[in-house]
Amino acid sequence: MRTATAAPTGTTPRTRTREVTRVLVRWSVVILALWAVARLTGGDRISFLTGILVPVLAFTPYAAALSTVFIGCALVLRRWRALAVTVAVTAAFAIAVVPRAVGGSGPAADGPSLRVLTANLRLGLADPHAIVGLVRRTGADVLSVQEFTARADAGLDRAGLTRLLPYKVAMPMAGAQGTALYARHPLRALPTFPVSEIGLAMPHAEMRLPGGRRVELFGVHLARPLSPSGVGQWRRAFVLLPGARHGVVRILAGDFNATLDHAPLRGLLGEGYADAADLTGKGLVPTFRKAWWVPPITLDHILVDARCAVRRADVYALPRSDHRAVFARVRLP
């Protein structure tokens, strides 16, 4: 006679999977909550956290998108506490990120129009003919180029750049250190920061427009904040860059190695600047990608005096560079 046996005790594979999913969701929500707090409080300003938070916060738009996925996970799992936290986290991310895709109304400036273009040349290897083509296509009056080498200088001259933008203040250097400003109108070089202090060259010039109007320009390239020395130079440059509250109209264009999720860049904006792409709803368009497996981020910016009106901003592919070029059409006050 066959005897009945008791069902084995313990959890089933389905139950184990569900429990693992709950744990993953719980810890993912905690991490996203800490991320949102760091972003909203400017945690990357804290010295001992800068080296960790600066690289992480660069990817905040992706964290914002991911947080919406965990809202769905919490609903499916019926984890109501996790759902409440995730909704709050998503709202916090939305406050930080969404305005960049919406844009806003700028001032009603009625001064001269100025077209500004910036491009990182990737150690001087970017296609010079593509750069000149972009200058023609956009009608740029000002071009800021970073990672500007002697080879890039010669290549741009051969490609005909100086026929379009005959004035320049150039600091060609080996590797990534060099930067240059090209302009359609006369430039006068102004004092700038020692390369030894901030790690990279940042030419500073005054451009005189037809009619006598003057605009101050900075070709910006900040150090990569991925090492202790790089972090120090990166933070120092943000402190040294002047605000736009002293009468003169200033425009800063280049590779800031920072996104709008980094507190130092937002602090600089608070000194009287506006980000051209942000104002036109293009603030989430990426400008840099290190490798195919790394999500692209937005490191290149044109910051204009907040009294200026930004009529247009665009991002263009740049052959043989890991950056994209950024353009803005600006109306001066």
Q: What is the pLDDT along the chain (333 residues), one digit of tens a residue?
A: 445 444 455 567 767 766 776 777 777 888 999 999 999 999 999 888 888 999 999 999 999 999 998 888 778 777 788 788 889 999 999 999 999 999 877 788 889 999 999 999 999 999 999 999 999 999 999 999 999 999 999 999 999 999 999 999 999 999 999 999 999 999 999 999 999 999 999 999 999 999 889 999 999 999 999 888 999 999 999 999 999 877 889 999 999 999 999 999 999 999 999 999 999 999 999 999 988 899 999 999 999 999 999 999 999 999 999 999 999 999 999
Three-state DSSP state, 302: strand
The pLDDT of residue 6 is 47
First to last CA, the chain: 99
The pLDDT of residue 63 is 95
DSSP 8-state secondary structure symbol assigned to residue 223: P
Closest residue by Cα to residue 327 from 300, 305, 290, 308: 300
The pLDDT of residue 259 is 98
- Print burial letters for 58-85: b (CB count within 10 Å at least 16), e (below 16): bbbbebbebbeebbebbeeeebeebbeb
Report how far residue 326's alpha carbon sits from residue 140's, in angstroms, rounded to the nearest whole number: 11
pTM of the model: 0.92
The pLDDT of residue 294 is 92
Report how far residue 51's alpha carbon sits from residue 213's, in angstroms, rounded to the nearest whole number: 42
Cβ within 8 Å of residue 315, ≥6 positions away: 277, 282, 285, 286, 287, 324, 325, 326, 327
